[in-house]
Chain A
Amino acid sequence: LFGSGDREELAREVEDQMRDMEKASKEKWNYDFAKNEPLAPGNYEWQE
């Protein structure tokens, strides 16, 4: 409706937004949700 957006810009926008949120989750839980594995020792002691 208001001009055609630049697709690359849109894709970058999504990447940036998602990366920020993923980073925040990693730090909060010391867990890598993309790889499904615990990160170095942090506030949470993970066990399978």
Chain B
Amino acid sequence: YKARDRDSGQFVALKSVRVQTNQDGLPLSTVREVALLKRLEQFDHPNIVRLMDVCATLRTDQETKVTLVFEHVDQDLRTYLEKVPAPGLPIQQIRDLMQQLLCGLTFLHSNRVLHRDLKPENILVTSRGQVKLADFGLARIYSCHMVLTPVVVTLWYRSPEVLLQTTYATPVDIWSTGCIFAEMFRRKPLFCGESEVDQLGKIFAVIGLPSEEEWPNDVTLSRQNFSPQNPQPITDCVPEISEKGAELLLEMLTFDPLKRISALNALDHPFFTE
């Protein structure tokens, strides 16, 4: 259901989680998503979806139900891009969407929150073109000594360090954002792998096979698994992108996470003042 508030005119929407009580209580993703959104809500950031309330209902003998009341947003970026007529989004609109996306991400990272599942379906766009990051079920509060789930982010938006199952942190969200940035121009995903290895192969076909020195040590997949390839001009994959846009995109799609641009620095990139 969704509802309109008679006073403010604002729309809210319900997201219900049903849990079989014979398990270990509420799912991790529900506990984390709500805890994170409650942590962030006091800042009321314009680019983060707002959680309005959480309503738990008394257990019946075999299930519990928790209902999350969110602010309602009409559509996500996937449907938004599908509706765009040829030749695609004007670059000024892409610039505006990316600025808002990075603003939301800078805010998350400055609160040590990794989203870990950025993709067009989890980026909401209101009828007035306001971007809101949503779906924090996979999100995590970063602390430097933490064991991390190795498999996060939907395959096509997954960064090389996650695909290689080595350590990861905020740069995983920047990689996903780079893939989404390219998709705003192409109106179709950039790297559509069918498996982890295939996804890596598609990535290296574009950014080139990293050097031996850059290859992380503690990974099972060795560099020899991939044929040597040079980077190809990013404009071959994203012909509509501007010069500064191509620069920014390559900084987001940098193999080494420590060399990848941060959300904060990306906001200062000349692409946004081009």
User: CB within 8 Å of B: which residues of A?
Assistant: 15, 18-19, 21-22, 25, 28-29, 31, 33-34, 36, 38, 43-48
Distance of A33 Cα from B3 Cα, bound (Å):
14
Main secondary structure of the interface of A (DSSP, over half): mixed
The 8 Å CB contact of B12, one of A19, A25, A44, is A44
Distance of A10 Cα from B14 Cα, bound (Å):
31
Inter-chain contact A44/B55, CB cutoff 8 Å: no
Chain B, interface residues (CB within 8 Å), range: 10 to 19
Interface status of B58 (Cβ within 8 A of chain A): yes
Interface status of B140 (Cβ within 8 A of chain A): no
Smallest Cβ distance from B18 to chain A, in angstroms? 10
Interface status of B7 (Cβ within 8 A of chain A): yes
Inter-chain contact A33/B65, CB cutoff 8 Å: yes
The closest CB in chain A to the CB of B12 belongs to A44
The 8 Å CB contact of A45, one of B4, B58, B59, is B4
Distance of A41 Cα from B174 Cα, bound (Å):
45
Inter-chain contact B12/A18, CB cutoff 8 Å: no
| A44 proximity list for chain B (CB < 8 A) | 3-6, 12
User: CB within 8 Å of A: which residues of B?
Assistant: 1-7, 12, 14, 16, 53, 55-59, 65, 67, 69
Smallest Cβ distance from A15 to chain B, in angstroms? 7
Known: A22-B58, A34-B65, A38-B1. A45 touches B6 (CB 8 A): yes
Inter-chain contact B16/A45, CB cutoff 8 Å: no
Given contacts A15-B58, A29-B3, A44-B3, 16 further A-B pairs with CB under 8 A are A18-B59, A22-B57, A25-B55, A29-B53, A29-B55, A31-B3, A33-B57, A34-B65, A36-B1, A36-B67, A38-B1, A38-B3, A43-B6, A45-B6, A47-B4, A48-B1
| A15 proximity list for chain B (CB < 8 A) | 58
14 pairs, CB–CB < 8 Å, chain A vs chain B: A18-B57, A19-B58, A21-B55, A29-B3, A29-B12, A31-B14, A33-B57, A33-B67, A38-B1, A44-B6, A46-B1, A46-B3, A47-B3, A48-B1
| B16 proximity list for chain A (CB < 8 A) | 36
